[in-house]
Amino acid sequence: MSDSARANKLADRIKVVVAQTLERRVKDPRLGFVTVTDARVTGDLQHATVYYTVLGDAHQRADTAAALASAKGMLRSEVGKQIGVRLTPTLQFVADEVEENAHAIEELLRTARHHDERLAAQAATARYAGDADPYRHHDDEPDEPHQHHHPGRAGYEPTSDPDTTRTTS
């Protein structure tokens, strides 16, 4: 098994063990409604980072962070008992910002949709300032025939001065 596959498998197991232990054994009243969202283990399997979210306000998130910090030793020993590796990785708890970021992105998308709807309403009543198609096409025929004065055609007469030409009408 490759090192990264082993680290991923160990991280998944740590995530489950920590979540179950928080639910069943940690009785700290500061611990709020916490969800373990992810765990990552370094390639040498010595350090694990456990990501979590807390349902509640900033005060409840701070209380939960303090409860996790005080329960870190007990959680590490429980991880060591249940995962069966020679050296139990150290645990670091990090508040997962995914939920807050998702709310911020959702708000930005809502604002963008509102602006798009407003622009679509303006575009529905908008008119072109000039012709709908201001560009002439090759197959367009002019309304009145024009007489063009080109070298080699009737009405064109060269002069002795190369910078000027004379037309006859």
- Per residue in 50-61, pLDDT (tens digit) is 999 888 888 888
Helix (H, G, I), strand (E, B) or coil at 156: strand
Residue 25 is predicted with a pLDDT of 85
Helix (H/G/I), strand (E/B), else coil: 35:
strand
Q: What is the pLDDT of residues 111-122, one digit of tens each?
A: 999 999 999 888
The C-alpha atoms of residue 72 and residue 94 are separated, in whole angstroms, by: 12
Residue carrying structure tokens 């030409």: 165
Share of the chain above pLDDT 90, in %: 40
Q: Which two tokens stand for residue 126?
A: 């908008």
Comparing 76 with 150, which gets the higher pLDDT? 76
Whole-angstrom CA distances from 113 to 98, 99, 123 are 22, 21, 15
Using a 10 angstrom Cβ sphere, with 0-12 exposed, 13-18 middle and 19 or more buried, the burial of residue 107 is exposed
Sorted by where each begins, the domain ranges of the chain are 3-98
**Higher pLDDT among residues 29 and 70, named by residue:** 70
Instruction: Decide: residue 162, CB within 10 A, 0-12 exposed, 13-18 middle, 19+ buried.
Output: exposed
With tokens 């197991």, the residue in question is 13
Q: How far apart are CA 38 and CA 92, in angstroms?
A: 12
**Residue 128: its pLDDT value, please?**
72
Q: Where is 63: in which H helix or E strand?
A: helix 58-83
Q: For 148-164, how does the pLDDT look when each residue is reduced to its tens digit (9 = 90+)?
A: 555 555 555 656 665 65
pLDDT at 55 (0 to 100): 84
C-alpha to C-alpha distance for 95 and 142, rounded to whole angstroms: 72
Residue 68: pLDDT over 60: yes
> How much is the pLDDT for 40?
95
Between 164 and 74, where is the model more confident? Answer: 74
**Is domain 3-98 in CATH 3.30.300.20, yes or no?**
yes
93 forms beta bridges with 50
Tell me which of 97 and 70 has the higher pLDDT.
70
